[in-house]
Amino acid sequence: MNKREAKSGFIFTKHTPKDQSPFEKLFDVFQELITHTSGDFDEAMDWLEQLDEEYNLTTDDYTLDDFVEDLKKKGYLREEIKVDGSNGLAITEKTERALRKRALEQIFGKLRKSGAGNHRTKQTGRGDEQAGEFRDYRFGDSLEQISMTESFKNAQINRGLGDFTLSENDLVVEETMYKTQMSTVLMIDISHSMILYGEDRITPAKKVAMALSEFITTRYPKDTLDILVFGNDAWPIKIKDLPYLNVGPYHTNTVAGLELAMDLLRRKRNTNKQIFMITDGKPSCVRLPDGRYYKNSNGLDSYIVNKCYAMASQARKLHIPITTFMIAEDPYLMQFVEEFTAANKGKAFYTGLKGLGEMIFSDYETNRRKRIK
């Protein structure tokens, strides 16, 4: 009688939605709205009311007033006094953390989960990750490095089971991999073009920054992430400030952003350093030595562009690769980015808003697996 061979494959079942309480359903929508409104609670609630009228998000048993009360009880809202002296509500640090966690789940959840030990280099030595390579024991090797299985095997081969003894010559050490540490600066363009032409480009950039900050602080706590924004000037922002980030009436001073990024990285002790730059427009502004701004939004100004190339070359000399994520596909802008990337020997990605997060996360993981020299 022939035995039926076991077969492997996929079993498809009907999707069963996750059970959510009325609060959880509304909180999902609220988090998305509060991100789009840059932390403006009143505006987010106005949008939520409109969505409720159209899609019946609430019921007589659970209203928007009930939702707001739950937000207060759970610590997601706090009372504050507005600029005009009236009482109002604002999100708390707990909400900020929830937004970062949600952004991470939205972006990183789309990526294939990687196994343990993503921070490997090609360098072997003392570490806590097995490399799968063996060598003879040397004086000074710790007991934890000795592979007992391989060492016992050597002893059996050398002397057999009848007279089993283990000598120093039998000991075998398994190499481990160094884990690298990475210092990253994320540059976000907040020039006016990030909301022009009916396309919201700043919200996806904020989500990426929130997700990346949550990812690094929870998964790679020894890595560092600094975030800066650049318009007419450049300045650092804290992770907790990300939900409130807004676009201003600015030109694009890429040079100022790069100068600040390299200044931040000079202070880091890590060998591995990198710059991620999210931008959608051409550089159109630099600050002159006398403090005045030189601006030109018409085409690519050679004076401004050459300053950018010089900064790219300077970063290259400091062994700081720059990865540019360009949210635009104009041919003349792509040519600028290609020449900028060549000057730095970095990388460039031309991406729409939809794939921005996946690209940045994949590139971060790739860079963490190698040692930047």
Residue 184 confidence (pLDDT): 95
Task: Say how many Å lie between the first and final Cα of the chain, rounded.
Answer: 64
pLDDT at 221 over 70: yes
Residue 42 confidence (pLDDT): 95
Question: Nearest 5 degrees, angle CA 344-CA 279-CA 119?
Answer: 60
- Residue 46 CA, distance from chain mean position: 30
Cα→Cα distances 368→223, 271, 359, Å: 10, 12, 14
Q: Which residues, 6 or more positions from 98, have their beta carbon under 8 angstroms from its beta carbon?
A: 31, 76
Residue 7 confidence (pLDDT): 55
Residue 326 confidence (pLDDT): 86
Residue 281 confidence (pLDDT): 76
Q: How many CB atoms lie within 10 A of CB 268?
A: 16
The amino acid occupying position 40 is: D
Residue 254 host element (H or E): helix 254-266
Q: Which residues, 6 or more positions from 198, have their beta carbon under 8 angstroms from its beta carbon?
A: none
The amino acid occupying position 372 is: I
Task: Please say whether the beta carbons of 251 and 284 come within 8 A.
Answer: yes
Residue 125 host element (H or E): strand 120-125
User: Regarding predicted confidence, which is higher, 143 or 339?
Assistant: 339
pLDDT digits (tens, 9 = 90+) for 9-43: 556 666 666 788 999 999 999 999 999 999 999 99
Q: Which residues, 6 or more positions from 162, have their beta carbon under 8 angstroms from its beta carbon?
A: none
pLDDT digits (tens, 9 = 90+) for 109-126: 655 333 333 333 333 333
Pairs from 117-120 (Cβ < 8 Å, separation ≥ 24): 117/177, 118/365, 118/368, 118/369, 119/179, 119/180, 119/220, 119/368, 119/369, 120/177, 120/178, 120/179, 120/180, 120/369
Name the band, by pLDDT with cuts 50, 70 and 90, for residue 83. confident
The half-sphere exposure of 368 on its side-chain side, counting CA atoms within 13 A, is: 22
pLDDT at 131 over 70: no
pLDDT digits (tens, 9 = 90+) for 269-327: 888 999 999 998 789 999 999 999 999 988 899 999 999 999 999 999 999 999 998 88
